[in-house]
Copies of this chain bind each other. A is one copy, B any other.
Amino acid sequence: MILTVTPNAAVDLTYRVPRLERHGSHRVTEVTERPGGKGINVARVLAALGHDTVVTGFAGGRTGEQLRALLADAAPEKLLSWPGSVTDALVPVAAGTRRTVAVVDEESGDTTQFNEPGPLITPEEWDGFLGTYRGLLTDTGTDAVALCGSLPPGVPVGAYGTLVREARSAGVPVLLDTSGEPLLRGLAARPDLIKPNAHELAEITGTSEPLRAAHEARRRGPHTVAASLGPDGMLLVTADQVWQAVPPRLDGNPTGAGDSAVAGLLSGLVEGLPWPARLARAVALSAATVRSRVAGEFDQETYAELLPQVEVAERTPTP
């Protein structure tokens, strides 16, 4: 089983409009509701790939109920094409889960995104969550854990450091995918893998050249750095190797592409694949997500078609 943690889970709404006009009034032609937040997206891709997953984090208020209902609706027994499962282990909180609204402009295909602020988590709720998290790490056959996304208000900024250390104590491989100060604090606790994008990497290292920045980030603690570079694919820096994987093409909506990449890396880890195969999977899943009609979903056929087309090459290990 793979555990994913989403402290700032969401209900994701996608609105399609014929053409977005700043300060105009729009009739939405199509509404899609999905369970959202990075770790939940990762779990859904993992389940589609055949892995059983457990999702934890916080759920509160009416939107929290809606999130849980959407997770239950998307259970694989209802969607027969998913060979894996998503089990809800979200921790109830008093404040309401946030919504995100992605407005897709049908004329240009571009997306305008609105993210509500997350719910305020109390110190007692955070402590309660830590207990649940420890139980999930140790009680079940947890093969890996992914810590994903932003922290809602009230959660300590060093939270990911704590969660990485707990995973390492339990002997569970841990991937961290966040940004800014929460990423910096998490790095120092030495996660097995981080997956920043080029912007996040530059933000924490002050270096814009991706290979140098990835090396620099790795020096701060994580065993491996997988940097997602958009159309340039993914760069992987381990203790002694550097790999780059390039997808055949990337056009569409990038929402969720990073989460699909995390699912590709994690599934490859749990299946014991070599690094080049993990990278190829991550990049093909990203590309299949970019080309999907609904923000954050990935297209299985596109994935199967793209996977053999991804080029993975070893690069000179030092910058």
Write the chain B residue with the least CB distance to A24: B112
Could you say which of B13, B27, B113 contacts A24, with CB atoms under 8 Å apart? Answer: B113
A262 to chain B, nearest CB (A): 19
Interface flags for A217-260 (1: CB within 8 Å of B; 0: not) read 00000000000000000000000000000000000000000000
A170 within 8 Å of B (CB atoms): no
A99 to chain B, nearest CB (A): 8
- On whether the beta carbons of A108 and B23 are closer than 8 Å, the reply is yes
- On whether the beta carbons of A25 and B62 are closer than 8 Å, the reply is no
A85 within 8 Å of B (CB atoms): no
Determine how many copies of this chain the complex contains: 2
A1 within 8 Å of B (CB atoms): no
Cα A153 to Cα B103 in complex, Å, equals 22
Interface flags for A171-201 (1: CB within 8 Å of B; 0: not) read 0000000000000000000000000000000
- On whether the beta carbons of A117 and B23 are closer than 8 Å, the reply is no
Which A residues have a C-beta under 8 Å from some C-beta of B? 13, 15, 17, 20-29, 31, 62, 65-66, 69, 99, 101, 103, 105, 108, 110-117
- On whether the beta carbons of B25 and A117 are closer than 8 Å, the reply is no
Residues of B within 8 A of A31 (CB): 116-117
Cα A113 to Cα B23 in complex, Å, equals 7
- On whether the beta carbons of B22 and A112 are closer than 8 Å, the reply is yes
Residues of B within 8 A of A20 (CB): 22-23
Q: Which of A21, A27, A110, A112 has the most CB of B within 10 A?
A: A112
- On whether the beta carbons of B28 and A110 are closer than 8 Å, the reply is no
Cα A58 to Cα B116 in complex, Å, equals 27
Q: List 25 A-B contacts (CB under 8 A).
A: A15-B101, A20-B22, A20-B23, A22-B22, A22-B105, A22-B110, A22-B112, A23-B105, A23-B108, A23-B112, A24-B112, A25-B113, A25-B115, A26-B113, A27-B115, A28-B114, A28-B115, A28-B116, A28-B117, A29-B117, A31-B116, A62-B62, A62-B69, A101-B114, A103-B114
